[in-house]
Structure 1
Amino acid sequence: MLHSQRVIPTLFLALLLGGCGTLDYYAQAVSGEIAVLRARQPIGELLADPTTPPELKARLALIRDARDWAVTALDLPDNGSYRSYADIQRPYVVWNVFATGEFSTEPVQHCFPVAGCVGYQGWYSEAAARASAAALAKQGDDVYVGGVPAYSTLGWFDDPVLSTMLRWDDASLIATLFHELAHQKLYVKHDTRFNESFAEFVGEQGLREYQAQHPLPQAVDLDARRARSEQFTTLLLSVRARLAALYRQPLTADAMRARKLAVFDELRTEYAQLRAQDWGGKGWYDGFFEAAPLNNARLLPFGLYDDDLPAFATLFADAGGDWRRFFDAAARLAALPAARRAEQVQKLKLAAPKT
């Protein structure tokens, strides 16, 4: 995403569609989604209502116009999603629980028939999410609980614009809108990396085109933001690679823990250098270090959004910037067997122009 707090913003409503899990987990998922859907109000009605606060009206009008534009300009789905608004009266709509083994960089997987396997669980209650995380931590896992402002049901329901999404600036809000609609356009079971990189490209490129035609009061230098995001992601991926190499070594548990802590100390030092030398002292990602203790699980979401973006940029360029041709090409790529798809994505990445 374009905002600095990196969390996976898409809860694929796998938890409503069957699979492994406890009855309590599914019960909270069903009741949580129903509560969100019941809170929906048509954006058109809110804009016509004289009691709607002016600031909210301005944001909703922006969303309405961008949503309509996306149908014709980006060939994104023309349906009921993001044409209503829900004030859910809490800071996040769900809280995702990520977990890894103490000496592993691989996520604990949760698999569902429709959405496939994902490396997290989503809870509509922060308390329930933290209780789940505590149970995993008691087993010895590294855990992280991340608040999620937005998600997509992949077209199963008409998703509303959530009050939690209004925390973002206009550019991030519009990019998120396009990102979530892209998930309704194309989704591949068991391939979170493909899905998120694809949707992130649609969100960013869509925002570029939207800003070119509709200058925003809060103008955003997308190239600068992307460069910072790539620098930070590269840093975290290098740390994850160091940890993976460490965990393959024949060390005692105590020695491994000491080395693990040292790697995270190195991360803090390297981030401070990046902030001072490249960003003029601006702490664009300070929140990452302040939100929760550093561990394996904190690193899980990174790379899902950024690493394969060049592949989709190449695909878009090959399509001559035509969105329908791009989506057709992406669908053909998605239809390949997993290994072949990964191979083709890598070739597309290598063909991307260097910046």
Structure 2
Amino acid sequence: MSQTMKSAFNRILLIVLITFLSQLSSACSTVQYYAQGAKGHLALMSQRKPVKQVLVDKNVSDKRKQQLKEVLEIRQFAYDRLKLPQNNSYTSYVELKRKAVSWNVIANPKYSMSPVQTCFPFVGCVSYLVYFSPEAAKREAEKQKKLGRDTHIIESPAYSTLGVFDDPILSTMLSRSSSSTAEVIFHELAHQRLYRKNNSAFNEAFASAVGQEGTRLWLKEKHPEKLERYEQHLKKRWAFFNLLINTSSELKAWYSHNYEETVTEKGKRRIYQQLNEKYARLKQSWGGDKRFDKWFTQSPVNNAKLSAIGVYYKQVPEFSRQLKALNYDFGKFYRYYEKQEEH
């Protein structure tokens, strides 16, 4: 099937799915969730323009055109050097009038570091729910709060359809540095390369590792003058992530004692206070660098916010070590984990 036919077929399939879902009972939360996802995705797909067309559009800024040209180079590097899927993903563009493409809601029991798993037909169980509007995400978070759970909403610049559709470049993917853009693209393409049903922690950490190590290789080969700055950023980022991951471990151990609630709550507050103090010392060791301050100030720090870091990053060092052991042969790296899945 040609790419044009595939795109048309997928669009028709999605329209049929939306029509089918809209006819089912609105009382069913699973149906509502699928319907909002299908509608949000179709709205996004309908706005796509081929990058080649955007590059000759006089109404598009030179800065944006340069960013899109770089994305095409990043995409080619992903295929050539990282052995990621070669398809029509990231050959079209959508200019979004919002700061995120989706909002992911993660929820944890009040005294647990394990995110609540939500299971659906076809896609399996996931550790977070994806919404295409902040209002829908807030409603879900409020629903979870009423159940006594800690909640957190993650603003996402991109998402993957796992190769079912040709994912577009989004303006939200271009809002930071070129290194950040490369990480996002490599991350999302990694989801297309390998995805394990019912295992969000594996999927996100695997994709994050490919994003990180792929960006390192891209900078080394294409922009060596930017590599040192990226390495310094990674060093600080991992110092920060390790602080959060260690705090999660402390909380998990504390909750395992099953003390009466007043004691458990007191210990929880103590550990979170210590987190603030440790971060202040870490920041001081960086000469007052404030790059991670927003993590503390933009939304409440709680179990859900901490566990989100665990879902995305806790297993990344393990994946990075395996990739290094394979001499950064990305093809062998993917096959190594594919064989694990077979067994």
* TM-score, structure 1 as length reference: 0.84
- 1:245 equivalent to 2:253? Answer yes
Counterpart of 1:70 (choices 75, 78, 81) is 78
Bigger shift: 89-98 or 185-194? 185-194
Q: Please show how residues 164-313 of structure 1 align to structure 2 within 5 Å.
A: 164-215=172-223, 221-277=229-285, 279-313=286-320
CA spacing shift, 1:120–1:313, aligned 2, 3 Å: closer
Matched-pair contact (CA < 8 Å) for 2:245–2:314: no
Matched-pair contact (CA < 8 Å) for 2:30–2:120: no
CA distance in 1, matches of 2:247, 2:321: 28
Bigger shift: 321-330 or 160-169? 321-330
Counterpart of 2:46 (choices 34, 38, 41) is 38
The unaligned stretches of length 5 or more in structure 1 are 1-12, 337-355
Matched-pair contact (CA < 8 Å) for 1:76–1:182: yes
Matched-pair contact (CA < 8 Å) for 2:191–2:203: yes
Identity across matched positions, percent:
35
Matched-pair contact (CA < 8 Å) for 2:219–2:226: no
- 1:103 equivalent to 2:111? Answer yes
Counterpart of 1:94 (choices 93, 97, 102) is 102
Question: Cα RMSD over matched residues?
Answer: 2.3
CA distance in 2, matches of 1:173, 1:72: 18
The unaligned stretches of length 5 or more in structure 2 are 1-13, 22-27
SS state at 1:304 partner: helix
CA distance in 2, matches of 1:191, 1:64: 30
CA distance in 2, matches of 1:158, 1:78: 11
Residue in 1 that maps onto 2:333: 326
CA distance in 1, matches of 2:258, 2:184: 44
Cα distance, 1:108 vs structure 2: 1.0
CA spacing shift, 1:186–1:104, aligned 2, 3 Å: same
Residue in 2 that maps onto 1:152: 160
Matched-pair contact (CA < 8 Å) for 1:315–1:329: no
Cα distance, 1:260 vs structure 2: 1.5
CA spacing shift, 1:197–1:22, aligned 2, 3 Å: closer
CA spacing shift, 1:233–1:86, aligned 2, 3 Å: same
CA distance in 2, matches of 1:55, 1:331: 40
CA spacing shift, 1:21–1:180, aligned 2, 3 Å: same
CA distance in 2, matches of 1:180, 1:290: 28
CA spacing shift, 1:143–1:303, aligned 2, 3 Å: closer
Structure whose residues are more often helix by fraction: 2
Residue in 1 that maps onto 2:127: 119
Cα distance, 1:50 vs structure 2: 2.6
Residue in 1 that maps onto 2:147: 139
CA spacing shift, 1:98–1:317, aligned 2, 3 Å: closer
One-letter identity of the residue aligned with 2:181: L
Describe the superposition over 1:201-225 as per-residue Cα deviations: whole angstroms up to 9, x where unpaired: 2212221221122217865533322
CA distance in 1, matches of 2:136, 2:181: 28
Residue in 2 that maps onto 1:3: none
- 1:60 equivalent to 2:68? Answer yes
Cα distance, 1:85 vs structure 2: 0.7
CA spacing shift, 1:315–1:260, aligned 2, 3 Å: closer
* TM-score, structure 2 as length reference: 0.86
Matched-pair contact (CA < 8 Å) for 2:179–2:230: no
Bigger shift: 31-40 or 249-258? 249-258
Matched-pair contact (CA < 8 Å) for 2:152–2:304: yes
- What number of residue pairs does the alignment pair up? 320
Residue in 1 that maps onto 2:4: none
Describe the superposition over 1:303-336 as per-residue Cα deviations: whole angstroms up to 9, x where unpaired: 3343333333343334333332222223212333
CA distance in 2, matches of 1:327, 1:245: 34
Matched-pair contact (CA < 8 Å) for 1:95–1:123: yes
Matched-pair contact (CA < 8 Å) for 2:200–2:311: yes
CA distance in 2, matches of 1:321, 1:241: 30
SS state at 2:198 partner: coil
CA distance in 1, matches of 2:45, 2:130: 17
Matched-pair contact (CA < 8 Å) for 1:42–1:85: yes
CA distance in 2, matches of 1:190, 1:102: 23
Bigger shift: 251-260 or 176-185? 251-260
